[in-house]
Amino acid sequence: RLLSPTADGGVLDVQDGLVEVDAEGRIARAEPWSAEDPPAEVVDLRPMVLLPGLVDLHAHLPQLPNAGLGSGLDLLTWLDRYIFPLERDYGAVTARGTAPAAFRAFAAAGTTTVVAYAAIWADSTHEAFAAAEAHGIRAVIGKVMMDRLTYDTEIDPAEILETSLRQSDELAARWHGAADGRLRYAFTPRFAVSCSADMLRESAALARHHGAYWQTHLSEDAGEIDEVRRLFPDASDYLDVYDRAGAVAERAVLAHAIHLSDREVARLVESRAGVAHCPASNLFLSSGMMPLGAYLRAGVRVGLGSDVAAGPEVSMFSVMRAGAVTQRVLELTGRADRSLAVKPIDWLRLATLGGAAVLGLEGSIGSIEAGKEADLIAIDPRLTTPLPGDEPRIASADDVLSRLIFRPHPNMVRAAWVRGRLLAGPPGLGGIG
């Protein structure tokens, strides 16, 4: 079965379908199976469901070992206690040793594009890119930039800004567009609390210079927002801190964006900057509940992020479930209109085309449509039935997605491909790879 959002806002839902992938790894056709015109070489995936590969718009590679630890702490305490020590240890050797397993874990969960923060170290960021290059996953990665409250205890404070900009510039020159565009660079000032106005402005200028991405955190937690107000008293609100740096534009990926004023929402729409909605993280750290329905109605560009390790799992299906639960709670407490509810198939759209559009890649990935690159995942719906061995009993596209979101199985993603190439990670289908 082929199931995919389509660029025109519709849904491709073919019960017994054919996806033909050409030698360049592009989708030549996606249509109902017909015995009359089969391609030369055929892999029979029945009874799998084929979906577009998932896009994780926001994750932290060094933080994976901490996943599931520290729920309920406020953000700034959690960062100090659990995260900065872990990132401090994410040197080149650690990255070389663990990044391959991290990318296999993303692929095993069905993520074929991951947008990730490394740590503040240039050499380990380089190792993370090298691991992504070898693995085959599509990745946008950046070296974290912090010229305030850094966990680099060795560096002369007077040199942090220039060093961080130079190293990031070099990494972008080496990796932005590598592997035929499968790897891209994101300039990554951590957030306004740990960056000076100079760091924000200069990093945004470098991102423009390279045609690369610019990613940071925005309006996640009450304590963080207070701190930003204290540090940037002239800014009208949190988003304005980044706007004054010239950073709020297309190719900006702003994680969280929970507690926004109407002005900030309108400015996001106008600027075409993207939001990485990370509901699993937001529940885990009790950061807040993003009014997704209102943002979508306003026209904000939204994709989904795991935010591991503030999000406890790499699976985007678990992120979708946290998002759906968040929306239910907002409805139950009178803060969201039920008519704006995001349907199961629309969660898939957010996790595929939505994320792709934030990255400006909606022309090449995010859906199963002819001409796109073959970033695909195969899912076994039999693993999600309530009774083992039962037929899936699912008819509509919404029902298929509902099962995957609310009854996921850790092994249900059986294969993942980027540009038609099978990725290591998922348990694998007999006869493939």
Instruction: List interacting residues with Zn ion (CB under 5 A).
Output: 255, 307
CA distance 273 to 253: 7
CA distance 324 to 122: 37
Q: Which one, 78 or 417, has the nearer CB to Zn ion? A: 78
Q: What angle do CA 288, 249, 166 make, to 5 degrees?
A: 100
Minimum distance from residue 220 beta carbon to ligand GUN (Å):
5
| Residue 171 contacts which entry, ligand GUN, Zn ion, none (Cβ below 5-8 A, type-dependent) | none
Q: Which one, 12 or 255, has the nearer CB to ligand GUN? A: 255
Minimum distance from residue 166 beta carbon to Zn ion (Å):
24
Burial 357-380, CB ≥16 within 10 A → b, else e: bbbebbebbbbbbeebbbbbbbbb
Q: Which one, 224 or 380, has the nearer CB to Zn ion? A: 224
Q: Which one, 54 or 255, has the nearer CB to Zn ion? A: 255
Minimum distance from residue 224 beta carbon to Zn ion (Å):
11
CB distance 429 to 417 below 8 Å: no
Using Cβ positions, the residue closest to Zn ion within the complex turns out to be 307
Q: What angle do CA 162, 163, 168 make, to 5 degrees?
A: 100
Minimum distance from residue 305 beta carbon to Zn ion (Å):
7
Q: Under the rule (CB under 6 A), what is the footprint of ligand GUN?
A: 60, 75, 79, 83, 190-191, 217, 220, 281, 307, 310
Alpha-helical (H) ranges within 211-254 are 222-231, 238-243
Q: Which one, 60 or 182, has the nearer CB to Zn ion? A: 60
Question: What DSSP string describes 90-152?
Answer: --HHHHHHHHHHHHHHHHHTTEEEEEEE--S-HHHHHHHHHHHHHH--EEEEE-EE-SSS-S-
Q: Coil, strand, or helix at residue 186? A: strand
| Residue 378 contacts which entry, Zn ion, ligand GUN, none (Cβ below 5-8 A, type-dependent) | none
Minimum distance from residue 117 beta carbon to ligand GUN (Å):
7
Q: Which one, 122 or 255, has the nearer CB to Zn ion? A: 255
Minimum distance from residue 307 beta carbon to ligand GUN (Å):
5
Burial 279-306, CB ≥16 within 10 A → b, else e: bbbbbbbebbbbbbbbbbeeebbbbbbb
Q: Which one, 215 or 367, has the nearer CB to ligand GUN? A: 215
Minimum distance from residue 133 beta carbon to ligand GUN (Å):
24
| Residue 220 contacts which entry, ligand GUN, Zn ion, none (Cβ below 5-8 A, type-dependent) | ligand GUN
| Residue 190 contacts which entry, ligand GUN, Zn ion, none (Cβ below 5-8 A, type-dependent) | ligand GUN
Contacts of 370 (CB under 8 A, 6+ apart): 27, 28, 29, 30
| Residue 330 contacts which entry, Zn ion, ligand GUN, none (Cβ below 5-8 A, type-dependent) | none
